[in-house]
Amino acid sequence: MIMLKFNNITKIFKTDIIDQPFTALSDVSFVIPSGSMVGFLGANGAGKTTSIKIIMDFIRADQGVIEFDQKLGKNKLEIFQKIGFLPERPYFYPGLTGEEFVHYMGSLSDLTRPQIKASLDKWGERFRISHAMKRPLKTYSKGMLQRIGFLTTVLHDPDFIILDEPLSGLDPVGRKELKDAIISLHQEGKTVFFSSHIVPDIEEVCDRVIFLKEGKLVYDGEVKKILGDGQEENFIIKFYAEGVDPRGYFPNIEKLPGDLWKCIVPSVDKERCLKVLLEHNMKIQKIDNDKKTLEQIFYQIRTQS
Amino acid sequence: MKKVLIISGYTIKDHLKSKVMYVTLFLALSIVLVTFVATEFTYGVPEKVAIDFGLGLLSLSSLAISIFMGSSLLSKEIESRTVYMVISRPVSRAEFISGKLLGLILIQGLNFLILSVTTISMTLLFGGSLNQLIFQALFFCFLESLLALLLVVFFSLGCNIFISTSITVLMIIIGHGIQETNNLSFVLNRPYLKWFLDQYHFVFPAFYKLNLKDFVIYNQSIDFSIILSNSLYGIFYCLTIFLGIIFIFNKKNID
């Protein structure tokens, strides 16, 4: 089942008459399967927020169409009833208190007062924001605003959650809490789509990833696949060699300070190397898997011309 | 309609908690002080001066509040991304903008009420009396401020705050001055120019139609048919701009 199809979307911005039009998205297509947790990656200006704005109908594409799962509804209002959206760096009505703002958002989502209260009790406690509900939003810190924003995003129990840079501006504890909340929502069966330029966050929580570069799609698929694809699994072995010159035994070897050495061996050669080390009384200090992280892979893609 | 009322309700709540209402109280105080000072400098007709200054300041103050609130209505929502929080819910753009406008109109109504009560109180204090014409003038004054409010919101859909405010102020000035211009001998001697200026009110807002202050000051009666036609003109113009705002906002990229 597909929750969202982003079909051949092109978006060109014409800033003024003199400047050249700027192509923010060029024939981008991807899908978000139902029940998946999809990370949306790309450097600043890659087109992530533009794509999200098109999905949310804030701006219109010059070409292409957006298709939502028919289960969400037939028209925009029905579909948006089942979507939870959190914009990037949200800033709310400063005069309203946290509680008033939550009631405002809840009533727009057709929730009754008891439903809003139940949701507020559940998420307010979880995000440690209940104590501040009577305070005006202008007194909230950046992290608190992000948390109350997330609270209103999930207030109406949406099936499809779209988050634009949800973890930016949060301290490590806040990031962990929000990531845990996103994971638990995903485990409840929600489809989650969130953009970030922080790759480890995506690698940690997402099962799929979409990567944009300069308005073009570079990758759309499983995180596991991109981590495994085309990678020869290597191991890094660090060891001490006293009175022995190990250079003759290993092809890819490097001298570190003291008697410490480092060699990189392919997986298939790992056992042979360890045997050699033990036979020649060389002490093993550490063995590490030399697998590339998602960040390293995307940094490589980004820097490729 | 329910969503429109919810949005307007919270718009009012947010405004009432902000410092904007202090501006109205400051303007009301200004009306009191200016009227008091002005009557001190006149001889024999303090009640006329009180109503003249009162209505003049009331008109200017409500126009200023309208332009101030209207020019930032959408830009503030977009810059702070609060608009995204609302229209990402099952709320149409028409409901959103109608709710915001209704909220603003009701706040403007409250501002106007405070300033009107101040003006009437000052008139009564200086020996003036209430008559139907004063209330008709107040109604037209409110209509004028609504028209300015809707105009500035309309222009803010395509321009920044400075440009939308400038265009609105220019339209108010021209809209008030066009009738006087029509009576200049320079215009009267040029029938094609006269014809052209006569068409002005069909396209652009003729604010002079909403100005009854002179009738009140000189206690002149005014024909009911003029009151009716000018009221309908103002209401029709407001409705047209309101529909224009909804139409453009529906098409606009909210970026």
| Percentage of chain B exceeding pLDDT 90 | 27
Q: Looking at beta carbons, which residues of chain B come within 8 Å of A152?
A: 85
Comparing A82-96, A163-177, A222-236, B9-23, the range with the smallest average pLDDT is: A222-236
| Amino acid A252: pLDDT | 78
pTM comes to 0.82
What is the SS3 string spanning A172-224? HHHHHHHHHHHHHHHHCCCEEEEEECCHHHHHHHCCEEEEEECCEEEEEEEHH
- When pLDDT is cut at 50, 70 and 90, the band that residue A256 belongs to is confident
Residue A305 scores a pLDDT above 60: no
Does the pLDDT of residue B215 top 80, yes or no?
A: no
Q: Beta-carbon neighbour count of residue B170 at 10 Å?
A: 10
pLDDT for A169 equals 73
pLDDT in tens, B45-78: 777 777 888 888 888 888 988 898 888 888 888 8
pLDDT surpasses 60 at B240: yes
- Tell me, what's the pLDDT at A191? 92
Closest chain B C-alpha to A302 CA, distance in angstroms: 26
Residues A89-126: tens digit of each pLDDT: 777 788 888 889 999 999 998 888 899 888 888 888 88
**Cross-strand partners of A11:** A25
Residue B85 has pLDDT above 70, yes or no: yes
CB of A105 within 8 Å of a chain B CB? The answer is yes
Q: Kindly state the average pLDDT of the residues A231-256.
A: 81
Asked whether the predicted pLDDT for residue B151 surpasses 80, the reply is yes
**Shortest Cα distance from B14 to chain A (angstroms)?**
5
Q: Which helix (H) or strand (E) holds B165?
A: helix B161-182
- Residue in chain B lying closest to A149 (CA): B85
Lowest mean pLDDT of A29-38, A234-243, B41-50, B183-192, name the range. B41-50
Which comes out higher in pLDDT, residue B237 or A281? Answer: B237
CATH class of A2-226: alpha beta
Q: Which pLDDT band holds residue B217 (cuts at 50, 70, 90)? A: low
Out of B16, B88, B253, whose CB is closest to A85?
Answer: B88
Note the ipTM here: 0.79
Task: Give A 146-185 residues with CB within 8 A of chain B.
Answer: 149, 152, 156
Separation in Å, CA of A270 to nearest CA in chain B: 54
* Rg value, chain B, Cα: 20
What share of chain A has pLDDT > 70, as a percent? 96
| Tokens encoding B82 | 């609060």
Lowest mean pLDDT among A201-215, A226-240, B19-33, B130-144: A226-240
Q: H helices within A33-189, ranges in order?
A: 48-55, 76-81, 98-108, 113-126, 142-154, 172-187
A92 vs B18, B82, B254: nearest CB: B82
Q: Chain A residue closest to B19 (CA)?
A: A95
Confidence of residue B242 (pLDDT cuts 50, 70, 90): very high
DSSP SS3 for B222: coil
Q: Is residue A165's pLDDT more than 80?
A: yes
Q: Which two tokens stand for residue B47?
A: 């009640």
Indicate the residue of A59, A76, A96 with minimum beta-carbon distance to B13: A96
Q: Do A80 and B88 touch (CB under 8 A)?
A: yes
More confident residue, A59 or B18: A59
Chain A neighbors of B84, CB-CB under 8 A: 56, 58, 85, 87, 90
A136 lies within 8 A of chain B by CB: yes
Q: What is the pLDDT of residue A295?
A: 72
What is the chain A residue with the closest CA to B249? A58
Domain boundaries, chain A: 2-226, 234-289
Query: Residue A31 pLDDT > 70, yes or no?
Result: yes
Would you state the torsion angle of the CA atoms of residues A163, A168, A173, A175, taken in this order, to the nearest 10 degrees?
A: 30
Which residues between 19 and 78 in chain A have a beta carbon less than 8 angstroms from any beta carbon of chain B? Answer: 53, 56-60, 76-78
- Give residue B219's pLDDT: 66
pLDDT higher for B38 or B220?
B38
A108 — contact with chain B (CB < 8 Å)? Answer: yes
Strand A2-13's sheet: what is its strand order? A22-33, A2-13, A63-68
> Do the Cβ atoms of A136 and A94 come closer than 8 Å?
yes
Contacts of B80 in chain A (CB under 8 A): 91-92
Across A19-23, A284-288, B210-214, which has the greatest mean pLDDT? A284-288
At residue A232, the pLDDT reads 67
Long-range pairs of B1-4 with CB within 8 A, sequence gap ≥ 24 = B3/A108, B3/B91, B3/B92, B3/B95, B3/B99, B4/B95, B4/B98, B4/B99, B4/B102
Under the banding of pLDDT at 50, 70 and 90, the label for residue A302 is: low
Closest chain B residue to A53, measured at CA: B255
pLDDT at A197 over 70: yes
Integer Cα distance of A77 and B87 in angstroms: 10
Q: pLDDT grade, residue B246 (50/70/90)?
A: very high
pLDDT for A230 equals 54
Q: What is the pLDDT of residue B239?
A: 94
Secondary structure class of B25 (helix, strand, coil): helix
Instruction: Write down how long chain A is.
Output: 305
Q: Residue A260 above 60 pLDDT?
A: yes
